[in-house]
Structure 1
Amino acid sequence: MCGRFALLAGTDLAEAYFDLAELDDLPARYNIAPTQPILIVVAGERQAPGSNLPERRAMLVRWGFMPGWVKDPREFPLLINARSETAIGKASFKAAMRHRRILVPASGFFEWRRPEEKGAKAQAYFIRPKQGEIVAFAGLMETWSSADGSEVDTGAILTTAANNDIARIHDRMPVVIRQEDFARWLDCKTQEPRDVTDLMKPIDDGFFEAIPVSDKVNKVANMGPDILEPVEERIEDAPPKKNKGAEAPPSSDQLSLF
């Protein structure tokens, strides 16, 4: 699951990490929530200078995937995540897996450890890479067109089973694409979904560290750096409660583009 994340990396770092020719100034975003615009990286149509690979470009999409066949988005669930194990064959994501794979730049994501005990308070964590200030999540995009001809670019983050480090908090985590695999993941012309299934697996143990933070992150209105301040971790004897159903963050006070 990935219901909230942060992007704190500066413009120069993001340009270099994703090999982007140009990128507008990036403001630090500490609490990115569903339905908000998110930065993504896609393979461009033109060939990069001095390379036989397509150039990469950045763009903004709405976080909340909308398949092209949806008639009324108000009657369709908010798809912020897609399960990597089933996305290839699922009607909502099948076309995007084949034609519109993307990278989602992030500095880390938030997750909540929900204990089995009824009424017990969930512990929030900021989960970030131990090395470096930026990471790439695997994602999918789709452009939804309304009856009046207006269009909205939308996206979702792919998830996979949690590795051993994250499993104590939650049973799911975002799919991380390593820098050396960017070209293959983004290449939808020669790399079919079955050719990139090996990339959709849990990242190695030790890649992430989990920092306990306060429940300030639960509210979309809290967007400052204070939500990343470490707190004393609440220790529970029971294992974390497994989420069932739709993957969504703990707070529903989201924006809407529809």
Structure 2
Amino acid sequence: MCGRYATTRSSGTLSQLFEAYDDTDGRHRPDWNVAPTKPVPVVRVDDAGERALSLARWGLLPPWATSPSAGARMINARSETVATSRAYAGPFARRRCLVPADGWYEWARTDGGKQPYFLTRADGDVLALAGIWSVWRGPDGPWLTCSVLTTAATGALAGVHERMPVLLPPTRWEPWLAPTGDPSALLGADEEWLAGLEIRPVGAAVGNVRNSGPELTARVPDVPAPRRAREDPRSTAEMPLF
């Protein structure tokens, strides 16, 4: 799954990277420890067909949801069932988005206990997580909400966790946002692009959602390899673990 991530680029930088106009009204703030239900930047196509950088509450709320608390359980949508899910099928077909991230966090078992890792591009490039969005109309007005699609982890990533967000290389950004076409065809892994990821051990402070700062993504030394990486024969892709 993807339950915690970092997105620290400014709205101006993200607007340029994704060729979108800034619709955040200055409300976006860098966050090194994004948790469910927080407002997050997403790139979507608006009603006029323009590409917009908007803020959405992380945790999709279907129109029939009676309380915003339901969104905390809907931060991820499984790519294997998203097209047939009652809650997710509509957004998947018509309201897809990109969720910009520096990287995401996972916790793995090691000989020293649970160890957090930051999974990020080794070259520092932005990640675009495949997302879907919806509008929920609550008593205080409409809310833009979103979910991140997940898939089975591949290669060395499977050594940390069995699931991972669907990562879209730049060549898939435009077709993913397009309101037509078959989005299912874009969900397969791009192994060459995934080979540029780094699995970085980080400190335990990220476990507290109240903590945020660049120190959370700093590498820590002398960390044992994840047990799954040693035990799982699928974890054979050439990807930097440390």
Matched ranges for 1:64-213 at <5 A: 64-74=59-69, 78-114=73-109, 121-146=113-138, 148=139, 150-188=141-179, 190-191=180-181, 195-204=182-191, 205-213=194-202
Q: Deviations over 1:227-246 (max 9, x none)?
A: 1221135326742799xxxx
**Unmatched 5+ stretches in structure 1:** 47-53, 243-258
Aligned residue identity for 2:211? N
| Residues 100, 233 of structure 1: alpha-carbon distance in 2 compared, 3 angstrom cutoff | farther
Q: Deviations over 1:184-235 (max 9, x none)?
A: 11112x22xxx12121123424121011001111111111111122113532
**Unmatched 5+ stretches in structure 2:** 233-242
Task: Considering fraction of residues, name the structure with more helix.
Answer: 2
In the TM superposition, what is the alpha-carbon distance from 1:17 to its structure 2 partner?
A: 1.8
Task: Calculate the aligned-residue CA RMSD, in Å.
Answer: 2.4
SS in 1 for 2:161: coil
8 Å contact from structure 1 (residues 130, 206) kept in 2: no
Q: TM-score, normalised by structure 1?
A: 0.79
8 Å contact from structure 2 (residues 61, 70) kept in 1: no
In the TM superposition, what is the alpha-carbon distance from 1:132 to its structure 2 partner?
A: 3.8
Aligned-residue sequence identity (percent) comes to 32
Residue equivalent to 1:2 = 2
Distance in 1 separating the partners of 2:70 and 2:214: 35
Aligned residue identity for 1:145? R
Q: Which has the higher contact order (CA 8 A, sep 6+)?
A: 1
In the TM superposition, what is the alpha-carbon distance from 1:109 to its structure 2 partner?
A: 0.7
Distance in 2 separating the partners of 1:75 and 1:127: 27
